[in-house]
Chain A
Amino acid sequence: MSLHGPDRINLQELPAWFDALFSHCTNRLAADALHYVDGQIANTTCRIHASNQGRVDFIRSRLDVRPSEKPVEEHWFSLSGDEIGWRIPLWDDPNWNITSFDTALASAGYKVHPPFFDRDWIVQRISDGMAIHIVPRWDDLRPWDGGAPLRWIVHWSAQRRQMRLIHAGTLATQGHGVLLCGAGGAGKSGTVLSGLAQGLSSVGDDYILLDQRDTPRAERIYTVMKQDDKGLARFPDLDAKLRSVARNWHGKAEFDPRHTFPGQIISSFELVAIILPRVAAVPACELKPMARRQALDTLTRAMNAEFFGEISQTLFTMNRLLARLPAYELALSRDPADIAQTITRLIFELTSLDALERA
């Protein structure tokens, strides 16, 4: 099959290519030529289209798509160029910089993921939130895409509603809980697993939705958790269940925690603190208040690693969060029960304090 479109593209040509791509998708949408699923994601009723049913099923298995009776507000597309007859151009603009890239495309009506990866385009039409992620073939998706498909599109959609996707783990009890933040390897996922194994709740351990429109809340957005073999060894029951699960690109088992911890994966909760865990192997967990500026630096760096190109929004979001929530550094022990108890105690202390202040 001959493919439509240019092989290479620069900043000047990009808006016209996006115009044509969005027009093509709109026509296919009208002709009902794509597979799709409807539902509510990040407080948006959206229709997720893909160029094959398998991709729709995969996305539905990873994203928390909730039933919705409301009309579709946004259309999101996950496409393989070869399946729709489109050649996906290579970025060919050696003198680009991120500021002029963002500015030029925004003035043309698009928000676009910076072209860091070859022939991999993620773009949102600003006027109506319609968004497309397209690669030449499914094999060209980045290896980490499977853990959180459409994450930039979800993130941009959330931003339209004064929310944002953040990279954090979560633990809660009785409707209140904490964010677990930090760079990869800090111990976020292991801490979440420790809490879940001891009966706490969570909305996720990787990407979650942060809603700061009122009292800060964490909301579930993805339905997958990840853990490597070393981490799983601390949880023998879970390790046994996941032994046959294929490992992802990072050597981690991916699983749906709703099946592994039934009833403990909740939709949302009110945040009372931010915890920055650190793998320390100390005899007992050590929890210490963290200075706001130090926490801001750590949080901004960790978030920027996941949503690069948005440094000012990231800094401001984290600063707002730290203006309302205390931050703590948690030196982790090896004992899951100790970790869970330390966090539970903190949540109860802060919730009681808050209740006293409100009274």
Chain B
Amino acid sequence: MRMPMSVNQFELAAPQCVADEFDGEVVILHMATGVYYCLQGLGAAFWRDLMAGHALPDLIKAVASTDSALEEAVTTLGQDLIAAELLRPTTVNMPETAPSVLAAYVAGDRHLGLDSYDDMSDLVLSDPIHDVDEEIGWPVLKT
């Protein structure tokens, strides 16, 4: 999905996407593709900041200016989140607090990759009207 350059703020593309954060890990499930994604460490902090209303270019700049070796990785993460259609544009007040990516960086987190898994897509995408065998029950998919 291409976004106009003027779009700086994003939110979760609900309801087609749902997300959960626990123990420092963010899991995002895309209900239309059945793929789920995981973010950890610096990537999870980056996601938290995006959801809090920080502008994407500001976050990329914050990470890149702290550690230039991460510029490519953090730029790729932003592009990957958009390409996977996990985000949609929004306009909200900019948060007054500093982004958490910097604290995460100081804490030593460096993982910025968006890990994706499609091993459960058959389950997520199964259609309860047509796939369920009424004699056998859910979720035995009809062949």
Contact call A297/B120, Cβ cutoff below 8 A = yes
Contact call B132/A311, Cβ cutoff below 8 A = no
Contact call A300/B23, Cβ cutoff below 8 A = no
Contacts of B31 in A (CB 8 A): 99, 312
Contact call B20/A301, Cβ cutoff below 8 A = no
For the complex, count residues of B whose C-beta is within 8 A of A. 23
Given A319-B22, A320-B22, A323-B22, does the pair A311, B128 have CB atoms closer than 8 Å? Answer: no
Contact call B120/A300, Cβ cutoff below 8 A = yes
Given A116-B132, A116-B138, does the pair A311, B124 have CB atoms closer than 8 Å? Answer: yes
Which parts of B21-35 form the interface with A (CB within 8 Å)? 22-23, 25, 27, 29, 31
- B15 in complex: contacting residue of A103, A293, A304, CB < 8 Å: A103
A96 within 8 A of B: yes
Bound complex: CA A227 to CA B38 (Å):
39
- Return B66 CB to nearest CB of chain A, in Å: 28
B103 within 8 A of A: no
Contacts of A311 in B (CB 8 A): 29, 120, 123-124
Contacts of A300 in B (CB 8 A): 120, 123
Contact call B128/A116, Cβ cutoff below 8 A = yes
* Residue ID in chain B nearest A319 by CB atoms: B27
Contact call B20/A319, Cβ cutoff below 8 A = yes
Bound complex: CA A116 to CA B136 (Å):
12
- Return B131 CB to nearest CB of chain A, in Å: 11
Total A-B Cβ pairs within 8 A: 60
Bound complex: CA A166 to CA B22 (Å):
19
Contact call B23/A312, Cβ cutoff below 8 A = no
- Return A152 CB to nearest CB of chain B, in Å: 13
A309 within 8 A of B: yes
Given A98-B128, A114-B128, A320-B23, does the pair A315, B139 have CB atoms closer than 8 Å? Answer: no
Contacts of B96 in A (CB 8 A): none
A97 within 8 A of B: yes
- B138 in complex: contacting residue of A96, A297, A308, A316, CB < 8 Å: A308
Contacts of B134 in A (CB 8 A): 116-117
Contact call B15/A301, Cβ cutoff below 8 A = no
B67 within 8 A of A: no
What 1/0 mask marks residues of chain B from 127 to 143 whose CB sits below 8 Å from any chain A CB?
A: 11100101001110000
A305 within 8 A of B: yes
Bound complex: CA A308 to CA B140 (Å):
11
Contacts of B25 in A (CB 8 A): 319, 323
Bound complex: CA A301 to CA B31 (Å):
16
Which parts of A307-333 form the interface with B (CB within 8 Å)? 308-309, 311-312, 315-316, 319-320, 323-324
Bound complex: CA A311 to CA B125 (Å):
10
What 1/0 mask marks residues of chain B from 83 to 105 whose CB sits below 8 Å from any chain A CB?
A: 00000000000000000000000
Contact call A323/B23, Cβ cutoff below 8 A = yes
* Residue ID in chain B nearest A101 by CB atoms: B128
Contact call A97/B123, Cβ cutoff below 8 A = no
Contact call B128/A304, Cβ cutoff below 8 A = no
What 7 A-B pairs come out closest when comparing CB atoms? Answer: A316-B20, A308-B138, A312-B18, A323-B23, A320-B22, A312-B29, A98-B128
Binding site for B on A (CB under 8 A): 96-99, 103, 114, 116-117, 293, 297, 300-301, 304-305, 308-309, 311-312, 315-316, 319-320, 323-324
18 contacts between A and B (CB under 8 A): A96-B129, A97-B127, A98-B128, A116-B132, A293-B119, A301-B120, A301-B123, A301-B139, A305-B137, A305-B138, A308-B138, A308-B139, A309-B128, A316-B18, A316-B22, A316-B27, A320-B22, A323-B25
